[in-house]
Amino acid sequence: MTITNNVGLYLHIPFCLKKCRYCDFLSFPCSDEEALTEYTEALVREIRIKASEWPYRMIDSVYIGGGTPSILSEKNVARIMDQVNKNFVLSDDPEITIECNPATASEEKLQAFREMGINRISIGIQSWDNSVLRLMGRAHDKNDSFTAIRNAKKAGFDNINLDLMFGIPGQTMKMWRDSIRQCIFLRPQHISLYSLQLEEGTQFYKMVYEDHILSEPSEMTDRKMYHDAIIMLEDAGYNLYEISNAALPGYESFHNSKYWSYDDYLGLGLGASSFIGGVRYKNCTNMLEYLDYIKKGQAPVNVDDIEKYSKRDEMGIYVFTGLRKSEGIDIKEFEKIFGTKFFSVYDPSLINVYFGYLDFDGCRLKLTEEGRDIANRIMSEFV
Ligand code: SF4
């Protein structure tokens, strides 16, 4: 069911300097060099295990994500890259990304990353306002962000992504617009914009819904922040190619596009997810269990987490993720992959029900600008 024969490789580093107040990702605060090296060694072994049990497929993108991968020493990242190169067949010019927190992005480190062949860097700026950063519990301030971007440019990175967040409690329209303006001024090749979702179990959730000491911006403010940002970015030459991602022409994220294009990806590391040949599975999320599996030379996959979705489920995933892209989904491609007419599966009246929110030209189905505001509602109609 795959679209290309190539595969994206995701490597998860589940450690951070500290836990941000809004974060519900699989990440733990850790600065113990021994523990970081122990995990690196396990990941390296997992790379070998997977590469040996895996049929010949070419890797055309590598994404080292987290957590905070830049918390690892140069030596540990070099170990990982070395094993990726030795154990997998890489395409001629793969996109290789590493995520960095501005607080852990020294000049020497970024230079070392570039020399290892890492050619794209994603920096978690989130906001250019120190009061917002403090409230979020981030480990960096805006000076760290400036320094990290300068270091990345000095190290020779010419494909830089900056992550930004909006809809943060306490964040005003002015703060948000200033953050966008600052990013545009620095001219990274790629900018990601995420609307903060308050997840149960996070400190922010408790502060907003239980302690009532913070309040969320209204839905209207959240949407205004999104639309203002898109206008500012498009005016500055960025193209919104995905609901949360804008890039200068030619700098769309190749790896992330796989997630929205029904392409295969292999995830390694604690809790990492994979989608290979129509099968989705997830590595275990318990660190001791993970290390134990690896010690025994086994893939760290819980049998319970191997999910063979039904064809109907897969169609839903194809449409749900594909509608995130500005170009939407290609009905012909859908029919080629699933061998079924699109409108024999989905009710054609949905096009009329969501008139003004969905655009269909007889070939492509996509969200309109207004449709992006109710994206989840529309996308769930296809699941
Ligand atoms: S740096 Fe990212 S992964 Fe780490 S705690 Fe903060 S939001 Fe979570």
Q: Could you read off the pLDDT of 4-50 as tens digits, one per residue?
A: 678 999 999 999 999 999 999 999 999 899 999 999 999 999 999 99
CATH code, 252: 3.20.20.70
pTM > 0.85: yes
**Ligand 1: distance of its center to the CA of 25 in Å?**
7
Asked if pLDDT for residue 117 goes beyond 90, the answer is yes
Domain assignment present for residue 284? The answer is no
- Are 33 and 181 found together in one domain? yes
Domain assignment present for residue 335? The answer is yes
SS3 assignment for 322-343: HCCECCCEEHHHHHHHHCCCHH
Domain assignment present for residue 295? The answer is no
Is the CB of 25 inside a 6 Å radius of any atom of ligand 1? yes
Asked if pLDDT for residue 243 goes beyond 60, the answer is yes
- Are 124 and 231 found together in one domain? yes
- Are 43 and 137 found together in one domain? yes
Q: Which domain holds residue 76?
A: 7-260
**Residue 194 CA, distance from chain mean position:** 10
* Predicted local distance difference test score (pLDDT) of residue 56: 66
Mutation pick for ligand 1 pocket among 68, 132, 162 (CB with most ligand atoms within 8 Å)? 68
Q: What is the mean pLDDT of residues 124-152?
A: 97
- Are 220 and 334 found together in one domain? no
Q: Could you read off the pLDDT of 165-224 as tens digits, one per residue?
A: 999 998 999 999 999 999 999 999 999 999 999 999 999 999 999 999 999 899 999 999
Q: Check if the beta carbon of residue 321 is closer than 8 Å to that of residue 260.
A: yes
* Predicted local distance difference test score (pLDDT) of residue 309: 84
Give the residue whose CA is nearest to atom 3 of ligand 1. Answer: 67
Domain assignment present for residue 199? The answer is yes
Q: Could you read off the pLDDT of 304-341 as tens digits, one per residue?
A: 777 778 899 999 999 999 999 999 999 999 999 999 99
State residue 21 phi and psi, 5-degree precision. Answer: -65, -20
Domain assignment present for residue 317? The answer is no
Phi-psi region of 115 (alpha: psi -120 to 50; beta: other; left: phi over 0): alpha
Q: How many domains does the chain fold into?
A: 2
**Ligand 1: distance of its center to the CA of 201 in Å?**
14
* Predicted local distance difference test score (pLDDT) of residue 273: 94
- Are 344 and 211 found together in one domain? no
* Predicted local distance difference test score (pLDDT) of residue 54: 67
Tokens of 13: 């580093």
Is the CB of 27 inside a 6 Å radius of any atom of ligand 1? yes
**Ligand 1: distance of its center to the CA of 47 in Å?**
24
Sign of the torsion formed by the C-alpha atoms of 22, 27, 29 and 31: negative
Q: What is the mean pLDDT of residues 282-288?
A: 95
Boundary-marking domain end, from 216, 235, 260: 260
